[in-house]
Amino acid sequence: MTDLHRKLAEFPKAVLGYHPTPLEPMANLVAEFAHQHLFIKRDDCNGLAFGGNKVRQLEYYLGEAKAQNADCILITGAVQSNFVRLAAAAANKLAMQCHIQLEQRVAGKSALYETSGNVLLDQMLGAKIYHYPHGEDEEGADNRLHEIADDLKAKGHRPYIIHLAPGHPPLGALGYVDAACEIADQINQHQLHFDRIIVPSGSGNTHGGLLFGLRALGIKTPVTGICVRRDAAAQTPRISARCQELAQMLEMQNPVSDDDIELSDEFLGPSYGQLNAATKAAIDIAARKEALILDPVYSGKAMAGFLQSAKTAPRDSSLLFWHTGGSPAVFAYQSELSG
């Protein structure tokens, strides 16, 4: 057991997913791009309510919630948020209530966007749903959660808030420090080497946690974050802050330098949650070549970045795509994805 493993073990953790998740070659994409080594890490296959990267994060958030004897959790996110869907599922597994707040982050969507996909699953899971009219007001959204929590406290509940805005310990990022340990074990087990890992970069917990964990283990593989929420200039200090916060939480020196933070916003436009041509093409290729279901918000844009890397990287290089899930959201984009 490494020092990193021991430090992670000090944090309470609720076991919610099936880990380790599969690490698979993508043979059909190898043939398509005349490339030798293309792999995928299947965090869409970790079991809880369609799975996804947030399962790993929720294990630490809900571990703390249970340690505090909370009986309900509160979380905020976009209308088609995978995070709030999985929070509702995790709460059910742990016999807790879940209160979710849906923010209006994506303009110009149809009624289908407001009712299908993750929203339908939120309802099926029995979460109490609230609405917040703004999409770019992280502090305001968190403040509204605190108002709801105060009302729940007055009724005798013990709420736990999963915050959105910076300024709170990123417990969820520990899930991807954990994931770094997992992929390190798989690399050793299968005698693999990766020249680059491509992952979506949104809140920064997945990207920052994975990068921090790899560097703490002495693994220098570049990790490229594909921007899905804000451009590279705005995202870079967010990833840097996440890594520094992790160092403080784990009481260790930050192993991540500014040069380690690699971001691409080439596939971000026109904005968060909006489909573009490159992402649509990547979603189609992944489905038809590898039977992978990717969403337009996170994994589809990351796949567009991955395919771009496959086109430009040396033929003998080895690339890993980290599939963060999100498949239920495709139903909210039916008109844009069909045809």
- Is 81 assigned a catalytic role? yes
Taking the C-alpha atoms of residue 295 and residue 275, their distance in angstroms, rounded to an integer, is 9
Taking the C-alpha atoms of residue 122 and residue 50, their distance in angstroms, rounded to an integer, is 12
Provide the token pair at 96. 């807790």
Taking the C-alpha atoms of residue 339 and residue 334, their distance in angstroms, rounded to an integer, is 9
Q: In the block, which residue shows the tokens 């909370």?
A: 70
What single-letter amino acid sits at 238?
R
Provide the token pair at 23. 């690490």
Q: Which of 81, 203, 309, 327 is catalytic?
A: 81
Burial class, 291, CB count within 10 angstroms (exposed 0-12 / middle 13-18 / buried 19+) = exposed
The DSSP letter of residue 95 is T
Taking the C-alpha atoms of residue 318 and residue 21, their distance in angstroms, rounded to an integer, is 19
Q: What is the DSSP string of 309-333?
A: HHHHS-TT-EEEEEE---GGGGGGG
Provide the token pair at 257. 């330098």
Q: Which of 101, 100, 85, 93 is closest to 62 using CA atoms?
A: 93
CA dihedral over 148, 101, 268, 211, signed as positive or negative: positive
The C-alpha angle 233, 320, 244, rounded to 5 degrees, equals 40
Provide the token pair at 254. 């930050």
What does each C-alpha distance from 286 to 28, 124, 250, 262 come to in angstroms? Answer: 9, 29, 37, 24
Judged by DSSP in three states, 91 sits in helix
Contacts (Cβ under 8 Å, ≥6 apart) of 88? 49, 98, 100, 121, 122, 125, 126, 127
The residues that are catalytic are 81
